[in-house]
Amino acid sequence: MGKHIIFSEVETHLIRRFTLATGQVSTFAGTQDSKPATFRHPRALCPDPLKPDNFYVGDYTCIRYWDTATNQVTLIAGDEKYGYADGVGSNAQFQQITGLLCHPKGKTLFVCDSANHLLKMVDLSTRLVISIAGDRKAGNRVGTGVNSSFMDYFCFFQRPAKSNSSPVKTTPNLRMGRTEPLPSTESVRW
């Protein structure tokens, strides 16, 4: 997808494609233009590092996997209800997903659960979702795990160069921070 910029339009429920060579904007998926892949409020997109034409979609209160070749959409975690719960698959709950970042080996997905003020982690092989940082209260406290806090609408920003750490952009206070190096999924104990 290096020839295109893929982005979401939350209120229209669409995923759009901007073609760099021509400047053309088109509907890539969603509820308009008879595209079969549908979404509720896609707020976050993250390419699958193992299959870069496919995407993980933070669809407001759930995470979906979108196979762009077949337009098949599969639920990974969460459901259509707002809430807070760690758990497996549809037993996990999110309040407002605003950011996704996939580990380069494709085993772990990190999630900004903005309205719950949490950073969560999904084991993609088991679909287990656990909260790894934040105390569920709005704030901007720097700390470890539950001794940290986030404001609403925080998201990830991934650098194009390979690195073990990624800057994290938070809004509305526009504070820039840096995460610790991403844990390898081999070292994470579930």
State mean pLDDT over 130-138. 87
In a domain, 188, yes or no: no
The parent domain of residue 76 ranges over: 4-151
Q: Give the single-character DSSP code of 146.
A: G
Specify if 175 maps to a domain. Answer: no
The verdict on residue 118 lying in a domain is yes
- For residue 171, being part of any structural domain is answered with no
Q: How many domains does the chain have?
A: 1
Is there a cis peptide before residue 172, judged by omega within 30 degrees of 0?
yes
List strand residue ranges (DSSP E) for the chain, in order.
4-9, 14-19, 25-29, 42-48, 51-59, 62-67, 72-78, 87-88, 97-102, 108-113, 118-123, 128-133, 155-156, 167-169, 176-178
Whether pLDDT at 45 is above 60: yes
pLDDT tens track for 91-122? 999 998 989 999 989 999 999 998 888 999 99
